Structure 1
Amino acid sequence: MRLATQVSGQGPDLLLLHGWGMNLAVWQPLVETLEEEFRITVVELPGHGASSWDPGCRSLDHWTAAVLDAAPSRAIWCGWSLGGLIAQRAAALAPERFSALVGMATSPCFVTKPDWPWAMETSVLERFASELEADQVRTLRRFLALQVQGAENSRATLQLLRTEFEARPAARVPALRAGLDLLLGVDLRNLPEPTGVSMHWLLGGRDQLVPPALASHLPGRVRVIRGAGHAPFLSHQEECAGILREWAANV
């Protein structure tokens, strides 16, 4: 399985991984801000955008192996949402490939459990799964709206998100199903902290999918952008870029 990538800029390597149903275009505004300071590789997840899809690629380790094959030999990895799950697993499997890990609006576990209330109710994702079968376009549009719900400048951010999202081929339905299964089923809370990899987390203070209360339950450095929702790199692009610069300078 071959994953589509986009490489631009010069400087230390920075890898960007998008979230469920998205594609590499959503990163473009941030890429344009940072590409004079970093060599940026943006990877499209399996079956998303122009990346190919293998029906046997359903586990987190399958997705992680595909991304590792497409990634630079060593980089700062920044994983947004579902991409953050993959980055966490990759750091455990291949810590030598990491200068640092940045989890953006992501979590080790996306659904609530008796001892883990800082997540989504399982029913939210299950509803997306059932609606996906009936109308892929409508389901993804609703998911886009949920990502900016409650955030500052939500209308402008949603328009930007839609514009960038529609610039690339739509994700394949089997890949969307598999991605939802990962969000529903993966729990990395007991994953050992990767040796030698500095951990950083950037959360949105108004995120409806990854509650900011999660901040005190994450290892490493955590920053919360108060007015941001689930896509802080779009709604608060300059602030995100500044935080990434700051963390990269201390790697």
Structure 2
Amino acid sequence: MSLHVKILGAGPDLVLLHGWAMHSDIWDGVRDQLARHFRLHLVDLPGHGGSAACETATLQCMVEKVAEVLPDDCTICGWSLGGQVSVELALQLPGRVKKLILVSTIPCFIKHRDWQWGMDEEMLQLFMRNLKRDYAMTLDRFISLQVKGSTDTTAVLAKLRASFSHDRELNEASLQAGLQILLTTDLRNKIEKISQPVVLIHGENDIITHPSAARWMHQKLPSSELVMIPSCGHAPFLSHPDQFITKLIQTV
């Protein structure tokens, strides 16, 4: 299985990895400007967009599939679930990944006794059940959560809704697999092992991935920069595209 990848632009290689339930068109609002500076690799994660699903619902399977299309000496920019994939790629392929940009990314989505910045496991399990009962409404609620705390929520909401498929038959199993990955992945003990420079971009009003988790990662990563964007929710590249583009140009 080969992933669906769109390549455009010229310059240093920049790989963009989207989040759960989306596909690479989510980057359309920043794509053309970034392509003036970089050779972009717009990847559909397994089970999303034009890419077939993984054989197993594991983060490692996603990582291995993305590794097959990863250029050498690249910077990876990963959003949310795509950020978790990016972390593992940086750890497993340090000779090919030179920098990381983690957007709205946290190492563990689930709350634990020693991790207060995650979601209650019961809530995510309920979300998985609701996805089976009412696919479209559950996804729409999730998308609405992503814009909370952002400016110009109507425009951001429209962009998010345009970037996922309502075809339940094609997508439900893959989305359930993605939620299973979020449920089981815990990268906290691996964060300090990242050797590459890291830029953390986070909205200070993000209610899906808590901003304090980004601050925690910043403390664990000596070669990191934290960019906390005011009046911003879970999708800073949609709500604050100019600021996002400027930071990527400065970083890569």
Same fold, TM exceeding 0.5?
yes
Change over 3 Å in CA distance of 1:27–1:65 after alignment to 2: same
Report the alpha carbon displacement of residue 74 of structure 1 after superposing the two structures with TM: 2.5
Aligned residues: 247
**Percent identity for Structure 1 against Structure 2:** 36
1:108-158 alpha-carbon deviations (Å, 9 max, x no partner): 111111111122222332222001111222221111111111211112210
Note the 1:56-71 alignment, pairs <5 A. Answer: 56-71=55-70
For structure 1, which segment, 228-237 or 239-248, has the greater mean C-alpha deviation from structure 2 after superposition? 239-248
Q: Look up the match of 1:242.
A: 246
TM-score by length of 1: 0.92
CA contact (8 A) 1:92 1:193 kept: no
Quick one: distance in 2 between partners of 1:154 and 1:189?
32
1:135-193 alpha-carbon deviations (Å, 9 max, x no partner): 22222111111111121111221012212435999962221111101111100000154
Q: Look up the match of 2:230.
A: 226
For structure 1, which segment, 20-29 or 67-76, has the greater mean C-alpha deviation from structure 2 after superposition? 67-76
Paired residue secondary structure (1:165): coil
For structure 1, which segment, 121-130 or 19-28, has the greater mean C-alpha deviation from structure 2 after superposition? 121-130
CA contact (8 A) 2:75 2:101 kept: yes
CA contact (8 A) 2:84 2:105 kept: yes
- Give the AA of the match of 1:163: A
- Give the AA of the match of 2:249: R
Quick one: distance in 2 between partners of 1:124 and 1:147?
16
CA contact (8 A) 2:13 2:40 kept: yes
Note the 1:151-190 alignment, pairs <5 A. Answer: 151-165=150-164, 172-190=171-189
Q: Look up the match of 2:109.
A: 110
Note the 1:195-210 alignment, pairs <5 A. Answer: 196-210=195-209
Paired residue secondary structure (2:68): helix
Change over 3 Å in CA distance of 1:15–1:168 after alignment to 2: farther
CA contact (8 A) 1:46 1:53 kept: yes
Q: Does 1:137 pair with 2:133?
A: no
Report the alpha carbon displacement of residue 216 of structure 1 after superposing the two structures with TM: 2.5
CA contact (8 A) 1:104 1:201 kept: yes
Report the alpha carbon displacement of residue 4 of structure 1 after superposing the two structures with TM: 0.6
Quick one: distance in 1 between partners of 2:166 and 2:28?
11
Change over 3 Å in CA distance of 1:161–1:53 after alignment to 2: same
Q: Does 1:30 pair with 2:27?
A: no
Quick one: distance in 2 between partners of 1:45 and 1:195?
22
- Give the AA of the match of 1:53: A
Quick one: distance in 1 between partners of 2:26 and 2:111?
27
Quick one: distance in 1 between partners of 2:113 and 2:52?
37
Quick one: distance in 2 between partners of 1:169 and 1:33?
33
CA contact (8 A) 1:203 1:212 kept: yes
Q: Look up the match of 2:17.
A: 17
1:66-96 alpha-carbon deviations (Å, 9 max, x no partner): 0111221221101100001101011111111
- Give the AA of the match of 2:38: F
CA RMSD of aligned residues (A): 1.9
TM-score by length of 2: 0.92
Q: Look up the match of 1:126.
A: 125
Q: Could you list the runs of 4 or more consecutive aligned residues of structure 1 that deviate by over 3 angstroms after TM superposition?
A: 164-171, 192-196
- Give the AA of the match of 1:232: P
Paired residue secondary structure (1:70): coil
Change over 3 Å in CA distance of 1:167–1:102 after alignment to 2: farther
Quick one: distance in 1 between partners of 2:201 and 2:131?
29
Quick one: distance in 2 between partners of 1:195 and 1:83?
16
For structure 1, which segment, 39-48 or 190-199, has the greater mean C-alpha deviation from structure 2 after superposition? 190-199
Quick one: distance in 2 between partners of 1:11 and 1:168?
36
For structure 1, which segment, 160-169 or 228-237, has the greater mean C-alpha deviation from structure 2 after superposition? 160-169
Query: What residue ranges of structure 1 are gaps of 5+ in the alignment?
Result: none
Quick one: distance in 2 between partners of 1:126 and 1:216?
27
Q: Look up the match of 2:82.
A: 83
